[in-house]
Structure 1
């Protein structure tokens, strides 16, 4: 083989090695530290808007199988879940030494009010909601007001949340309103500041009574090793008030399904594509999540 061909081959090998090393480092970074997450729906308005982009802090609560990355590219038929990569880390719920809610390495308990990304085991989809119930808590909705352990949380009127009644995000979803306006008109929701028993405060939205049939519920007793999650857009969130299932709710969320905590919006776009720079929401860049 000529020196020229040997040089070309060596260059190709070095390029491939560089790409492989870069992918391994990126995979390790994503597994141990931060995972990107794009907000696809309005269930967490107005805390999180469709088109917000954030990184999930995986160090906040320790690690489980859900800390491993998943790769989904529908157009190419690729569907590799975290359990495919790290299923060996999943607990056996029927095992003799099974921990309630599964096991975590360096694990710590989320706090009420934390905004958390978790994996729904029934379909492997990542969801983002707010923690409102910890193990042993009794959760109930009474006339649209969250009750924890028999006590209603503090609610304070905070005006209205107004957005244009236009398609949002890549899925072109229409926003939810108290009353449906003409296209381009003001879409209005009542806004409140909700304060949980530990003092954590955040905004919640209300668009009217019994929109999703969960303004009045029975009592949910959160099992050991599980969390109770709710969206801030209370009338339009498939959360722990509904049984876990594809295109359904979240049910009680086992601790091992927690991916991490969402702390800050990094980037935000109101358009169908993040490349449409004229739809960027610069006021939300590096916006703290509360």
Structure 2
């Protein structure tokens, strides 16, 4: 089995303890030589400043290729592009461009009066700067706001046609889900890379709730397996086995890149990577 290229997603810390956890996560996973790491925005842009600071710090201190998340939520076009310019001046050349989730308490996305109305508009503006490699989100299961799967494919094509270079998918539980989506995208004329997003399940209750919110289908066998594993206190063992098997199936199906959602808890992601034959190749320098 060939070894895939990998990337990792982190979220910005909100406390001193979380800052230490993020740095521990980086130190654990950086030796696996990811092609990039990304730092998320909170819902409604709530971690905008934290994201900017975390991206800048990681870029300067880790030697990793850092991608910054950028959303359309609760900001004017000028403010959003000024944030992008801040990333560029810090040496960051990669952006994950997203519409973003509504702020807490709101049921749906409402554009800022002077803001971008969609991720496509944001991508077009970023592409015009010619400063960034742009990644976007994709949904192998139907997005909760989409009419059907065909609409998800059409919207992804619009984002890639607007200037995005690559898509990162929402997580899913079975390789066939990704393969169906990949085939539908190819049929629609999409020829840019679509990278499967992988969620190593640290906490089944949390993952289950998140899956329901974002429209990810939960197979009955997965639900039953985790319910039993939680009772038997073997949740981590099952999570490692399921995630490793999923990644192996994807690789056997021709996937050569994987993007891991780490939740700033690196051990399970590291163990899955080890099981796939991805071993440390570099050491992260200590930062004074």
TM tier, smaller: under 0.3
Computing the radius of gyration over CA atoms, which structure comes out larger, 1 or 2? 1
- Between Structure 1 and Structure 2, the one with more strand by share is 1
TM-score (norm 1): 0.25
- Between Structure 1 and Structure 2, the one with more helix by share is 2
TM-score (norm 2): 0.25
